[in-house]
Structures are given as structure tokens and as C-alpha cells.
Amino acid sequence: MNIMTPLCENKNHMTDFITQIEPWIDSRELDELKRVIDSTYVVEHDLTKEFEEMICEMTGSKYAVAMTNGTAALFCCLKALGIGEGDEVIVPNITFIATANAVIMTGATPVLCEIDSKHFCIDMKEAEKCVTERTKAIMPVHLYGQSADMDAICAFAKKHDIKVIEDAAQGVGVLYKQQHVGTFGDLGILSFYGNKTITCGEGGVVLTDDEELRNACYRLKNHGRDGKGTFKHYHIGYNFCFTEMQAAIGISQLKKLPDIIARKKEIHDLYYDRLSFLSSSFIPLKDAKHCTPVHWFTSFLYDQKKEMIEFLRENKIQSREFFFPLNAQPCYTNEIIKHGNYELSMNIFDRGISLPSAYNLTKENQMVVINKLEEWLS
């Protein structure tokens, strides 16, 4: 097999269903996994350290602590800062539910903040309405490969003497004023779930420049221990340890990251060039001026989103709606604090659609998507 050929090559053949997102996995991941099999170390060991070092090099963070997934990483960040029962954490209303759930897992309460109208990240003017004497942290989310306004967020945190935890689960490779997201706050996290820009299958990492916070997160993920090979536990901890298999895939994926980012930009630019001016009601998500984005998804706003998604599905094209706003999640009753009616969040959800954006999307298949959308919008 040519190492440049994805193992899932046939999935994106023109006659098949066009997926919205999928990872770029090929024989290079198999080569890295063979290192694990040959070593016989399957729990975190040398490859995990290598992966963490590569993350530090990519992000500029002093420390990186690899964990089972991004949710566990958020939870450990909160616990490392001593956040728990009776505390409040400000989170944006549009994000994947794990952002709020990680807060709830600590016993603290998520306070839902409205998003801004341009890039759908947390609105810092609205955040002022969310502050109480119980507020301990703000958790901005870098949504869909865009960055939140970290200057404003850090100034807000300083003003109110609270902590900043960056949820950069969707932000691998994203820069804010030429600095990698996840490295501005006290702590930040990245995610490597299967649909992210790069993947470990599952996985997350905590970023911090603070040695004490790094050590606290490591203990939390490692049963309260400072290392392996001891059965004395000086702290309460959990089992969120990484595996060498995850590290092996992650190492290979990090080597591919520049190519993935470049390809996603090509996909985004072609959609933008061909579709942005077809209809005044089909509005692209524009890049923030302060941000060097990674187009994890290419997204638009459209009033007939549901009908468009169904039209594409009937033509064997998968698309995706935006995250469902937290204020309307049916699982939440008394676990969250709301401010206002979140009219903007609901409007963005009602109109938001993300198009096929996988690295493996061929030019031919992208033109199938574009032609179908041109047909719909004409």
C-alpha cells in the first residue's frame, strides 16, 4: 500500500456516501502501533512522553499531560484549581455538552453565557452579567476552529480575580495573535476524539505553564500518585491514564498536521469561493481578524437548514447541524444557571450547517457537494 493512501480510501469514492468528517488514517499509524507491539508496553510509557513533548513543541506550552479524553482533561483542570461544590464556572451557551458536564462532575455549577454574533464564541459583554461572589473560573471554547477573544477574556479574569480554563478541544493548530490557543489561561485542553483535526481514537491533553498545576493534573489522572510503580497514594485521584496505542496514533497524526491544516484550508476556500455569493441567505462563518484558524469544519448559516440537510442526505451527502444550545438541553433541570433567553444561540443553532470537510474529501466529491448546493440555492 502506498503510505499516502488512506486506509478508508474507498469511503469517499464518488459513487458512495460523502461523509461530513473522518480521520486520515493510513499505514503510518500502523507503523507507529507496531512500535507499541514490539515494546510490549501498552500502558503509558515512552511513546506517551514523546507525544506530550511533541504537543509542547507544537503549542509552546511548558507542560502537557495526556489523558483518556478531553472531558477528563477539563475535569482535571477544574479539580486542580480546587473548584467544586458551591462554585460557579462561566461557560458559553453553544459548545459540546462536555464543557458543562465537566463542571457538573466537580459539583460546581455551569453559568451559561450568550455567544457573540460574529464567531459564536463567548460574548464578554454578556459574561459581565454572569459574575457572582461564587464565580471561580471562566471556560472559553474555541469553536469550530476559530479562537475566542483571549485578550478580553484574560482581562475579564484579572478584573474579577478568577481562573481561565480554555476548552480548545476543537482548536488543534489554531492561533490567537500567533500564539496557540489553550496556552493563554491558567490551564487549557485539547481533544483528539475521532472527528477532530487530528485523532488518537480518543484522547485529551492538559496544557499549562504552571508546574504545580501540571503535577496536580498528573496525580488526578493517575490514582493520586506522582508516578508509576508505587502503591502509596497521597491524594485522591482517578484513572484517566493514556495508553501507548493512543500515543502511537497521536505521534503519527501530529506529523501529518501541517498537511491536514493545508488541505482543510483548500476545502474551505473552494466552498467559500463557489458558494458565498450565491444567495444572501446562505452566509459563511467568517474568520476572526485576531485568529489564524484551522477549518475543522466549514460552516454556513441558512434559514432552511433542516430542509437543506435532508436534501443533501437524499443525495448521499452527510452534513451536520451546530451544537444544540446548553440552555435548551433536555437533560438539564437544576444543574445549570441561565441568564436571559439565549435568542441568539437558538437562532444560530436553527440556521447553522457544516459541510463535508474531511482531509480525505476528494476534489471530485467536493464538486458534487457544491453542484448540489448550487442546484438547491439557484
**What are the residue numbers of the active site?**
196
Is residue 188 within a helix (H) or strand (E), and if so which, with residue range?
Answer: strand 187-191
Q: What share of the chain is helix, strand, coil (3-state, %, to 5)?
A: 40, 15, 45
Q: What are phi and psi of 308, to 5 degrees?
A: -65, -45
- C-alpha closest to that of 272 among 293, 291, 253, 251: 293
CA-based end-to-end distance of the chain: 43
Give the distance from CA 128 to its chain's centroid: 25
Q: What are phi and psi of 246, to 5 degrees?
A: -60, -45
**DSSP codes of every residue in 51-90:** HHHHHHHHH--SEEEEES-HHHHHHHHHHHTT--TT-EEE
| All three cell numbers of 5 | 493512501
d(CA 325, CA 35): 43
